[in-house]
Amino acid sequence: MKVYIVRHGQTKANATNCHGSEEEDLTELGINQAENLKSKIKDYQFDIIISSPLIRAKHTANIINVNNNKIIYDNRLKERNPGNLSGKSRENENREEYWNYYSIIQHGTSENIKSFFERIFNFLDELKTKEYKSVLIVAHSGVSKAFNAYFNGIGDGKFLNKGLKNCEIKEYEL
């Protein structure tokens, strides 16, 4: 099965280097990024689109759904929950540690990275049992980092720079 993962378009939190919130939608640039991606993938054939239920991902999924595929929303594809870091600048934190699988540092009330990756791995393990030939996943940077870990291994545990950029697409074979 081919699995394509797309990160949502830009949000205000992305533009201002802050932790996002669940209720954040795309900026005008984010909408344009999704429109550009739509034209790039117009000839791709997907059996289904599975999206994070967060507004920014849902909006992106609806824009890029050129063939009017069925869209399923799965809570396991939500971004890593930043907890009490939501809306706060990322400037004053150690981003390397935040995205280090082996770190023992707790970052505020944010979701533990191992639990987060386990949630995504569970989703992918279940996806393996489906009969799809080609699936489009619309999610988040952190989710794309977990995909990287699932398909390429945990390795040194450093995932800061292993996520997708806004409206970037990556293909995996499941």
Set 8, 59, 107, 140: catalytic member: 8
pLDDT 10s digits, 108-158: 999 999 999 999 999 999 999 999 999 999 999 999 999 999 999 999 999
Per-residue confidence band for 170, with pLDDT thresholds at 50, 70 and 90: very high
168 counts as catalytic: no
Domains of the chain: residue spans and CATH: 2-173 (3.40.50.1240)
pLDDT 10s digits, 24-67: 999 999 999 999 999 999 999 999 999 999 999 999 999 999 99
Helix, strand, coil content of the chain in percent (nearest 5): 35, 15, 45
118 counts as catalytic: no
| pLDDT of res. 99 | 98
| pLDDT of res. 165 | 98
Q: Which residues contact 135 (CB under 8 A, 6 or more apart)?
A: 1, 2, 3, 4, 46, 47, 48, 49, 50, 127
Q: How far is CA 154 from the centre of its chain?
A: 17
Joined tokens for residue 79: 């971004």
| pLDDT of res. 22 | 82
Per-residue confidence band for 21, with pLDDT thresholds at 50, 70 and 90: confident
Set 19, 24, 79, 140: catalytic member: 79
Q: How many CB atoms lie under 10 A from the CB of residue 130?
A: 13
Per-residue confidence band for 92, with pLDDT thresholds at 50, 70 and 90: confident
pTM: 0.97
Q: Is the pLDDT of residue 93 over 90?
A: no
